[in-house]
């Protein structure tokens, strides 16, 4: 019963956050100066009919929401219009049908572009995160166990340095080095125009393209996982039950594995969840440097091309993915530690 | 968390600080960068804002006696650009983090101290903002508005306060339960007095450490924005240098000096602030780093004999 209530509360919370993001995403593009669709309408060469046609096509002839005709500059409107006939609810309805607008740049539906990109981003982030977590945890355990020795100081300085590296710069340096020294591809997902004789040949090509971006990702995120693992373990290793385990004559490896690590996993799950936002920031930079066809690269391209529907769609998809991943982490946490469900 | 926040006097703090090698190293790195930024016109060999005539030979020149770090895609001296670039990073870092820490501090202290409905709503709002990924939102807002220095500072500052708010709130909660707050209230002290004299001094060390870390985050965010092409076009910044180099063929010209130099500056500053923050935390909130598995456990320490035998 309690678990059900916990589940309902979490789901409701995620739903509310998504509503908040959708609303924010709608109003940001209308409140801020330089409204995308209207910017194009100021072109003096357009005839009155053409302006009107564009306004109708992008739905700009409708009021933004009840009582408000336009937001920037502010213009009061009719309060008695059918709410479903306002820009806000039309936008909402379109979202429910999976329509994210039409790209200014390619004139194709934004949703078509973003669908494939989402999976490319998940592939890249997934590979990088798994490696960063494994290496970060291992290094953190080593540093905490050998606390105050040279190994600890070395691991600590390495992590602080890794944390300080701008992701895009590390990507550039690795790209420069990897492409000139080892002939690795300079970007993209697959070599264009290469006829793949087999599935294996294609996977090999994909792997070669994934190598450098994943390496960048791993180095950048490893530092933080290591730091948190180290400080959590230092707290745990000072607890009395570790002394008890030691007094029982257990070997160090066993104490670390069964007594310390098990307790340290909970803060790690929290950190991974909190890190999801930064994960997205990393994806934007890495995909830009390596021309990886993902959501982050889409954000960069949309900014350069002033393609606002694309930018709006990519932002929404990124934010919603982070919220859902957060929800998953929350539920996982409650499975690992049943105590939180009581709150 | 068992450690209680305590007051630390200026002198004790300074003594601990001087002994902490990490903190001193970070501070030294920052002072060098600050000096370079302040005295940039005197230190830089060329004026980066002066127009130069571009020739085919003048672009992407290798490092040499005339240009120690070579030239960039517009034939400008990379070393001078590099020195002037420190100004934007430091300005954005300091001002944006100031905005973030003030907002986060106010929200955290009022939520923690007053509690009740105010706390519920403030924390709910904080959680909303915490979940939304920062960088895409910053990119979206700066892309729609104009990327001027002021806009960049405001956007980064106004979106970076969430972690501060949560940290300050939990710290305030634990201070509020301490005896001296109860005593102050029982002799009739008002909220403002308690907040100013009892809560704030104990939250301050946390705020200082946090603001140092927030500065490094703001610097990273600013350089990323500039690298993505959203920089103030009237000012040279490290991210912008990398953006121009990356977009205008430095890779294919193998002009490593344009690609390495600005990044080195960013790492220098961010690492300086990170080391300082890490060191400050160790000084203000010292913890034993000995534990039950250290090789020479000090579980029983024998007092040294007062009169050593001759």
A145, A234, A284: residue with CB nearest B136: A284
The mean pLDDT value for A222-235 works out to: 87
Residue A56: pLDDT above 80? Answer: no
Beta strands in A132-230 (DSSP E): none
Residue of A nearest to B229 (CA): A304
CB contact under 8 A, A277 and B275: no
**CB contacts, 8 Å: A165 with chain B:** 267
CB contact under 8 A, B136 and A281: yes
Least Cα distance to A324 among A335, A334, A332, A336 occurs for A332
Residue B57: pLDDT above 50? Answer: yes
Instruction: Report the domain count for chain B.
Output: 1
Q: Does residue B172 sit within a domain?
A: yes
Q: Does residue B279 sit within a domain?
A: yes
Q: What is the distance in angstroms between the Cα of A180 and the nearest Cα belonging to chain B?
A: 9
Q: What ipTM goes with this model?
A: 0.86
Q: Does residue A183 sit within a domain?
A: yes
> How is residue B309 written in tokens?
């035998």
Per residue in A255-299, pLDDT (tens digit) is 888 888 888 887 787 778 777 778 888 889 999 999 999 998 888
B260: contact with A, CB 8 A cutoff: yes
B17: contact with A, CB 8 A cutoff: no
Cα(B212)–Cα(A66) distance, rounded to whole angstroms? Answer: 45
Least Cα distance to B96 among B27, B36, B149 occurs for B149
Instruction: Report the domain count for chain A.
Output: 1
CB contact under 8 A, A172 and B259: yes
A164, A172, A303: residue with CB nearest B267: A164
Least Cα distance to B129 among B148, B97, B103 occurs for B103
The mean pLDDT value for B305-310 works out to: 51
Which residue out of B123, B132, B252 would a mutagenesis test of the A interface target, given it has the greatest number of A Cβ atoms within 10 Å?
Answer: B132
**CB contacts, 8 Å: B154 with chain A:** none
Q: Does residue A118 sit within a domain?
A: yes
- Where residue B70 sits, what CATH number does that domain have? 1.10.3720.10
**CB contacts, 8 Å: A308 with chain B:** 144
Q: Which domain holds residue A334?
A: 112-340
Q: Does residue A51 sit within a domain?
A: no
B contact residues 181-220, partner A, Cβ 8 Å cutoff: 216, 220
The larger pLDDT score, comparing residue A156 to residue B110, is at: B110
Q: Does residue B295 sit within a domain?
A: no
Q: Do the beta carbons of residue B40 and residue B87 sit within 8 Å?
A: yes
Q: Does residue A48 sit within a domain?
A: no
CB contact under 8 A, B293 and A255: yes
A147, A173, A281: residue with CB nearest B135: A281
**CB contacts, 8 Å: A255 with chain B:** 293
Q: Do the beta carbons of residue A237 and residue A230 sit within 8 Å?
A: no
Q: Do the beta carbons of residue B110 and residue B192 sit within 8 Å?
A: no
Q: What pLDDT, on a 0 to 100 scale, did the predictor assign at position A180? A: 83
- Where residue A271 sits, what CATH number does that domain have? 1.10.3720.10
B224, B295, B299: residue with CB nearest A285: B224
Pairing of strands A74-76, A68-71: antiparallel
Q: Which domain holds residue B265?
A: 32-50+63-287
The mean pLDDT value for A29-45 works out to: 64
**CB contacts, 8 Å: B253 with chain A:** none
Return the HEC string of B1-33: CCCCCCCCCHHHHHHHHHHCHHHHHHHHHHHHH
Question: What 3-state class would DSSP assign to B39?
Answer: coil
CB contact under 8 A, A175 and B251: yes
Residue A225: pLDDT above 80? Answer: yes
Confidence band for A172, pLDDT divided at 50, 70 and 90: very high
Q: What pLDDT, on a 0 to 100 scale, did the predictor assign at position A302? A: 87
Per residue in B208-241, pLDDT (tens digit) is 889 999 999 999 999 999 999 899 989 999 999 9
B242: contact with A, CB 8 A cutoff: yes
Confidence band for B297, pLDDT divided at 50, 70 and 90: very low
- Averaged pLDDT score across all residues of chain A: 83
Question: What 3-state class would DSSP assign to A68?
Answer: strand
Per residue in B150-177, pLDDT (tens digit) is 999 999 999 999 989 999 998 898 888 8
The mean pLDDT value for A74-95 works out to: 81
The mean pLDDT value for B230-255 works out to: 89
Helix crossing, A262-289 with B200-227: angle to 10°?
Answer: 30
Q: What pLDDT, on a 0 to 100 scale, did the predictor assign at position B289? A: 63
């Amino acid at each position: 019963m309690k678990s059900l209530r916990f589940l309902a509360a979490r789901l409701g919370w995620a739903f509310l956050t998504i509503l908040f993001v959708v609303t924010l995403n709608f109003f940001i593009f209308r409140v801020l100066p330089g409204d995308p669709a209207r910017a194009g309408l100021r072109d003096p060469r357009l005839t009155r009919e053409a302006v009107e046609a564009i306004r109708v096509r992008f739905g700009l002839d409708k009021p933004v929401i009840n009582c408000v005709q336009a937001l920037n500059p502010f213009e009061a409107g009719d309060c008695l219009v059918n709410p479903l006939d306002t820009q806000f609810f039309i936008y909402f309805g379109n979202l429910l049908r999976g329509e994210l607008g039409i790209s200014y740049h390619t004139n194709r539906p934004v949703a078509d572009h973003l669908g494939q990109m989402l999976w490319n981003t998940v592939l890249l982030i997934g590979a990088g995160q798994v490696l960063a977590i494994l290496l970060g945890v291992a290094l953190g355990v080593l540093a905490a166990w050998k606390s105050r020795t040279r190994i600890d100081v070395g691991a600590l300085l390495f992590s602080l340095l890794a944390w300080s590296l701008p992701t895009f710069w590390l990507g550039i340096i690795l790209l420069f080095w990897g492409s000139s020294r080892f002939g690795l591809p300079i970007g993209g997902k697959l070599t264009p125009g290469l006829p793949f004789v087999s599935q294996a040949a294609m996977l090999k090509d994909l792997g070669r393209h994934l190598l450098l971006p994943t390496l960048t990702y791993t180095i950048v995120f490893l530092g933080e996982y290591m730091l948190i693992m180290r400080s959590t373990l230092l707290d745990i290793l000072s607890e009395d039950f570790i002394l008890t385990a030691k007094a029982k004559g257990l070997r160090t490896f066993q104490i670390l594995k069964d007594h310390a690590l098990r307790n340290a996993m909970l803060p790690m799950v929290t950190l991974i969840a909190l890190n999801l936002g930064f994960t997205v920031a990393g994806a934007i930079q890495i995909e830009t440097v390596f021309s990886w066809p993902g959501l982050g690269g889409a954000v960069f391209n949309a900014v350069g091309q002033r393609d606002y529907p694309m930018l709006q769609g990519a932002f929404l998809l990124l934010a919603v993915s982070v919220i859902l991943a957060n929800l998953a982490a929350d539920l996982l946490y409650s499975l690992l530690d049943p105590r939180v469900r009581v709150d | 968390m068992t450690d209680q926040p305590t007051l630390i006097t200026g002198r004790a703090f300074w003594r601990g600080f001087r002994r902490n090698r990490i903190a001193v190293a970070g501070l030294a790195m920052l002072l060098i960068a600050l000096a370079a930024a302040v005295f940039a016109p005197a230190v830089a060999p060329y004026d980066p804002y002066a127009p130069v005539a571009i020739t085919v030979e003048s672009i992407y020149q290798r490092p040499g006696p005339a240009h120690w770090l070579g030239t960039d895609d517009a034939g400008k001296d990379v070393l001078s650009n590099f020195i002037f670039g420190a100004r934007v990073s430091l300005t954005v870092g300091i001002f944006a983090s100031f905005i973030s820490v003030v907002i986060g501090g106010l929200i955290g202290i009022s939520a923690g101290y007053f509690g009740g409905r105010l706390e519920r709503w403030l924390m709910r709002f904080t959680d909303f903002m915490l979940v939304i990924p920062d960088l895409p939102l910053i990119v979206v807002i700066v892309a729609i508005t104009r990327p001027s220095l002021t806009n960049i500072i405001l956007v980064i500052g106004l979106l970076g306060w969430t972690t501060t708010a949560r940290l300050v709130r939990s710290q305030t909660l634990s201070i509020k339960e301490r005896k001296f707050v109860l005593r102050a209230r029982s002799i009739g002290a008002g909220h403002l007095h308690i907040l100013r004299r009892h809560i704030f001094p104990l939250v301050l060390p946390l705020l200082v450490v946090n603001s140092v870390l927030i500065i490094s985050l703001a610097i990273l965010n600013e350089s990323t924005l500039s690298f993505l092409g959203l920089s103030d076009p009237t000012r040279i910044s490290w991210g912008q240098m990398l953006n121009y180099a990356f977009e205008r063929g430095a890779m294919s010209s193998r002009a490593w000096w344009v690609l390495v130099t600005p990044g080195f500056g960013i790492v220098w500053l961010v690492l300086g602030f990170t080391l300082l923050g890490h060191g400050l935390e160790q000084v203000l909130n010292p913890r034993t780093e000995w534990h039950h598995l250290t090789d020479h456990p000090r579980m029983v320490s024998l007092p040294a004999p007062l009169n050593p035998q001759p």
